[in-house]
A and B are shown apart, each in its own frame.
Chain A
Amino acid sequence: MPLSNLEIAKRAQRIRAIYREFLNKLLPLRKEQDDIFRTYTEKLERKRVEAIRNRLKTE
């Protein structure tokens, strides 16, 4: 039996909700992961800047 328009709309809405929920879980994880790498890169970069600063000082 074909789905009624109402049923199609309902299902579409549910799929959208599932997707939204998925994003709600994914985005914080994604951010967490990026934060970890950003912190890490920044720490590395800071080390590098320190080295440059030392080099500038000695020059």
Chain B
Amino acid sequence: MPEEDTRTDEDRERSEGAVRREKPVEVATEEGLKALAQETSEDISNREQDLLASAREQQEASRPLESGLDPQGLARLREEAGLGRVAKIGEEIAEVGSRAQRAIGVVMSAPSPDAPSSLETPKAPRVPEAVPPAAREEIPVPPVEVVQSIERKEAQEDPALERLDRQLRLANSVERLKNGEELSSEDRARLSGALEGRGWHKVFNNLESGEAIVSVMTPPGGETYRQTPDERLNILDRIIRSGTLGDIHGNVDAKRLDKALGFEPFGIFGVKRFNDDFFGPQLTDEIIDKRRALVSEHLGTECTELEQSFKDGFFKLTKDQIADPNMRAISIARVGAAIERINAELRKFIPETIAKAKAEILQEAIPRATERVREVEGRLAAAKSPAERVKLMEERDDAVERRKDAANRYLKLHLFEPIFEREGYELNFGIKDIGERPTDENGNAISADYSHIELAVAESLQVAKRAREAGEHGRAYAESDPASIIAELKELRDGITSEDIIDAHGNAYPIFQLEADGVTKTLNVDIIRDLRKGKFKVREDQAELLGLVQEYLRKINVLDVVKPYTHEEISGEEIHSTSYRLQHQLETTASIAERIRKGGALTEEERKEAVQTLRREGKDRTCTSVMEFHSRALQMNDCAYLTLDVLDVGPKLIRDYDRLLQQVEQGNMTFEAASMIAGDETTRMMREFREKITRVYREHTGDAEAVPAMLVGGDEATIAVDRSKVEVTDALLMKLRHATNSRVVQTVVSGAERLSSAKDDELTKRKDHLQAQKIAEQGSELAKTLERSVRELRQSINDLPKDEQPSYEDSLNALNVKHFVVKQSDGGFKLVVEDPAERGTGKTLPPVEFQGVLNGVEQLNDRVKAVAAEAYKKLFAELHPDYPHLSAEAMPRVQRMKNYFEKEEAFVAYMKKYK
């Protein structure tokens, strides 16, 4: 869909409404109360007017789009969209508004109850209230004891710490199981739960042919959400002027604040964004839990729950519910109704959570940070020794930074709000019947083959996505679905006739890349990468083209399923790096888990197997499990964390989908087959990646059997290395970089550097442990920034005239950033690069400041671009007389083609279109 702004005014109106809503402050006097009533009443009528005005404006905004359409078609579209309902909504809101106004009147005119009989006046409890910005006072600062208790609470309630704690408790239970000790009832529950909860076990164990799977899906992170800069600026401007954030953003205008904030309206519903930008871990967990509970509550009455993850859920409909066509229709309708109920509940719950998050920031986070700043400043004033002063100054900067972070989160919540109101946070569902179990050549069912379930899961998710695209809650799979997906994709691809798409800086990107077979053309990985992050900004006249490309990208994503096993493993081959099959794992695990829960006897062998299962990662048995990683890393006193993150896993995965779907289109593969093997290539690649890490680690330690403590993520892995036993050198980092071709970041938690007292040592250690992983993320982001700059520079150099290129290539090589690793050091990040004099030996240069290198790349890029602009001008002047249709904008491409064609005739042939 083209990213045009057709609703600026409406957005502005709305954002004002959003800011007006949340003004927590105490009301302690009758004057204050009256002001509150007055303001609320005004708010209500403003909001009412808002809604009516917005209807008028949206009607206006659609006018230009309507022009040229035949009246009949227009009437049909209007009816389909439900435009007739708008007038009714107007009536309803008028009624709701006047009822609220009357209720406020009743509250205010109620007679005063008798004054309190006792002499003591009850203290007014603090109630966050809505009052006009002008009446807002400085944020109250709670006393120190409150701050301390908040910090304690924070430690107890930080969900990341709690999750870590759960893992460590599980590790203890596993240890007891291993030693054959007596297990408590908690141990039993924990162990059996962990065994059963492994990827899709319940799905495989509880579904059979003739039943149906219901998949529930949360909104994917990577979708496009509209927010105009105007809307953002208005919201920010309001908040700045209201003074809610005190002097935190005192002397700044909305434009600068917007830039500093860097708010990206794209993909705001991802868990990571919830966590980092809006709600913090605590409330994010609350949202996830609430959603899970709602799904269990409402959908659980219609069908049987199998499992739910933090993003999706699987349920089943029994044969009774779907065998008879009438029953089937009813069951599907009931699932739909349940999802609608859940969505309605979420529509209420999320605004409440937003309000809670805002209140938490204003009443707790900011005052806490403010108090901390004051406290450190007090100590700073009294401090004498320079060393102490420096340390305190750092502490103060840190506190100021935290205060700012909290304020930024507050701002982002306000920016989030109108998007949420427009887009909603809605679940979708898809239903697919489980087919027959595959049979061998004699027609006997193969009991070790679960691919019929695998297929149904994939297809149910596909229809959920299709429903989402169509703006429906969900639907059941239809036989015609695959064919229409393929047809739609082909049509879209054929519709994209332009070869290039031009970004906002004038760089031309080829949209498709022709594969070796000469037929298949897949979406350019560079475009996929940036589109997924919402970072692909195009020149104005390219918006429609971008819309088509985006739609294409969204459509190929239909194959996306995160499976814990490959298709081969699911259909009965041995599980990677083991000598048993999925069936064995499912059956023995279920039986062992059952006996552990009930306190039944286990053989020595079974105990060993259970321990081994829990200590190894579900999707890659060569690696340690999450539990094992945390428990081992926390036992290290001087721990280095090496985080490796594979480049472009996501974009390449999507390109694989594109390729597979075209294989289906060309008749080389069935849609079912494509659905089942999609992603397997990536799974294999990631396993290889982890094997390489283990190999390098083993070579480095000289222990051929060593299994590093590894935390396995989707496209990354972190290993924890005990520096008191293993030396972590820059050469090791570089070796890992070369072996895995990944981004490498090192962070450190050193026992020696920690100054905390023995008592809270354990808690501090855990916090540091989690912090190190957060820091690694930042390091990885920095690495990405540098990679992006280098990529841009390389592209610019390619677009230079051929004879100009070598000297700039030399300059790029001199920067020596082809292979680098990022290292946390002295509170910042440093870059380690190879020694260019001894390339390939693994020798590295001393670490350098990150920013300096980045600046170097950017400066060089500016220079190259200036040279290119000159060259284009010259070439244009040269060619234009012969090619009158040539435009100045086409010059980068013309230059590239000139470079590309060896023979002059070929170039002349290419240039024909400009004749």
Contact = CB atoms under 8 A, between A and B. Distances in A.
A, B assembled together: yes
Interface string B1-23: 11000100000000000000100
B544 interface: yes
Nearest to B96: A25
- By secondary structure, the B interface counts as helix
Contacts of A23: 21, 47, 351
B423 to A, nearest CB: 9
Nearest to A36: B82
Contacts of A30: 51, 54, 421
A38 B58 CA distance: 9
Given A12-B129, A19-B100, A43-B77, A7 B51 contact: no
A51 to B, nearest CB: 9
B868 to A, nearest CB: 29
B740 to A, nearest CB: 42
A22 B96 contact: yes
Contact of B66 (A26, A31, A35, A44): A44
A42 B85 contact: no
Nearest to A51: B68
Contacts of A43: 77, 80-81
Q: Which bucket holds chain B's interface residue count?
A: 35 or more
A20 to B, nearest CB: 8
Contact of A45 (B1, B47, B51, B96): B1
A37 B59 CA distance: 8
B89 A41 contact: no
Contact of A11 (B33, B51, B92, B115): B33
A5 B115 CA distance: 10
A24 B115 CA distance: 34
Interface string A1-33: 111111111011111101101111111111111
Contacts of B47: 22-23, 26
B548 A8 contact: no
Contact of B347 (A28, A40, A42, A45): A28
Contact of B351 (A12, A19, A27): A27
Contacts of B65: 41, 44-45, 48
B71 interface: no
Interface in B461-496: 471, 491, 494-495
Contacts of A11: 33, 107-108, 110
Interface of A: 1-9, 11-16, 18-19, 21-45, 47-49, 52-53, 56-57, 59
Given A43-B77, A49-B547, 15 more contacts: A3-B30, A6-B116, A13-B127, A15-B36, A18-B40, A18-B103, A19-B40, A29-B92, A29-B96, A30-B421, A37-B58, A39-B471, A41-B61, A43-B80, A45-B1
Interface of B: 1-2, 6, 21, 27-30, 32-33, 36-37, 40, 43-44, 47-48, 51, 54-55, 58-59, 61-62, 65-66, 69, 73, 77-78, 80-83, 85-86, 89, 92-93, 96-97, 100, 103-104, 107-108, 110, 112-113, 115-116, 121-125, 127-130, 344, 347-348, 351, 421-422, 424, 471, 491, 494-495, 497-498, 544, 547-548
Q: Closest 8 A-B residue pairs measured CB to CB?
A: A40-B81, A44-B65, A5-B124, A53-B495, A37-B58, A22-B100, A39-B81, A12-B27
21 contacts: A1-B115, A4-B122, A8-B27, A13-B127, A22-B100, A23-B351, A26-B47, A28-B344, A29-B92, A29-B96, A30-B51, A31-B347, A34-B422, A36-B81, A36-B82, A36-B83, A36-B86, A40-B77, A41-B6, A47-B69, A59-B497
